[in-house]
Amino acid sequence: MPKPRVTALITVYNEIRWIRYAVDSLLDQSIDEMEVLIIDDGSDDGTGEAVDAIIDSRVRVIHADRMGRAAALSMAVHEANGKYIANLDADDEAYPDRLAAQVEFLDSHPDHAWVGGGEDREDTQRDEHYVRLYPENDAAIRRMAVKCIPYCHSAITFRRDVLEEGLNYDPKQPFLIDFEFFLRVATKHKVANLQIPVVKRRAHSKSFFQRSFTVSAQNKELSRLCRVARRQFGLPIWMECYPLARSIYPMLPNRLKHGLRKTLGLGETAVSEPTN
């Protein structure tokens, strides 16, 4: 069979509640010539059986012993057959035109290696529902990388060719796996974000990121990587104040966090919930 234009990858560990929604959202994409690659990272809650029950020639499942998210992502990139690789977290959903829009962008922008998009974010930890858009162009994304993560990992698509340059997720990175990978890609290539929501994102206390690491550990590593971004992208030294402020952010009330995110350049529009 001909190689697919794009490989949509899902790495999953014990997401029996959400995994079928994620896979179905990829199978419903408007683009042809795509495959869905699922790395089952040693699930023991029925997730493995659930993905095995999906009958579709575009789906490829690899069952592995428990290796951790970073190693699973690295394996997925090596196993992908597509010209482009799109990540989707196992508890999220892709909107129908997501892959078509991102493939079109990368086809028409050969100097870009990575493109993200907006997210329709349901955050049960903060009791918030909003559409978040990230900076659009390469320069703005680099500047935001000193302040916070400038994309949604569940919404990114990148060229598989970066693997030939030695660029891949670091299997030894404990967390913020994607941001560490992004910084290495963006050091060599242009990056962008589409100004439309392309995924439905679920932020909840049982997500991999939240259940695996403490807030203090997350912010300590994020601060370190933001400082790496400042140096790698040659940004002014005064911008070191942003990573230093990461230790304060978790202590702020949610209403202040929303305002702060806006000043950082994250476009957030609240979604009105239906009333009974």
DSSP state of 18: T
Longest dimension (CA), the chain: 55
Render each residue's pLDDT in the chain as its tens digit; 276 residues.
Answer: 578 999 999 999 999 999 999 999 999 999 989 999 999 999 999 999 999 999 999 999 999 999 999 999 999 999 999 999 999 999 999 999 999 999 999 999 999 999 999 999 988 766 778 899 999 999 999 999 999 999 999 999 999 999 999 999 999 998 899 999 999 999 999 999 999 999 999 885 555 444 555 777 888 899 999 999 999 999 999 999 988 887 676 666 666 666 666 666 676 687 755 333
Q: Which single residue is written with the structure tokens 């057959």?
A: 81
pLDDT of 167 reads 98
173 part of a folded domain? yes
Whole-prediction pTM = 0.89
Q: How far is it, in rounded angstroms, from Cα 163 to Cα 160?
A: 6
Structural domain for 221, as ranges: 6-270
| CATH code (residue 10) | 3.90.550.10
126 part of a folded domain? yes
Helix (H) or strand (E) holding 208: helix 208-212
- Contacting residues for 168 by C-beta, under 8 A, at least 6 apart: 74, 77, 78, 162, 181
Tokens encoding 183: 């910084």
pLDDT of 2 reads 73
Tokens encoding 141: 């994304």
Say if strands 6-12 and 34-41 run parallel, antiparallel, or are unpaired: parallel
1 part of a folded domain? no
pLDDT of 32 reads 87
Based on the structure, what is the number of domains in the chain? 1
